Amino acid sequence: MPLSKDANGGGTEKDGSKSTMYCSFCYADGAFVGGEVSIEEFSKMSQKGMKEGGMNSFFAWLFSRTWTIGHLKRWKN
């Protein structure tokens, strides 16, 4: 999720400051929500969350593909 679309303005670091890299759905208290999951598991969790948030199924599928979220720093080695 682009931080500009995050109602909370981003996730939080351990010290309570806002993350400039990750949204509040993915990152809280300096750790990734859901723990250390694979990109495939994260893709499924993201798609489900987007649908539950009211996004239509096609766009939820499109925005949660591993080739889309794979560009995030979290998944870079």
Q: Above 70 in pLDDT, residue 54?
A: yes
Q: What is the pLDDT of residues 12-46, one digit of tens each?
A: 999 999 998 988 988 999 999 888 888 999 899 88
Q: Above 90 in pLDDT, residue 51?
A: yes
Please, what is the average pLDDT of the chain?
A: 88
Q: Which residue has the tokens 């694979």?
A: 38
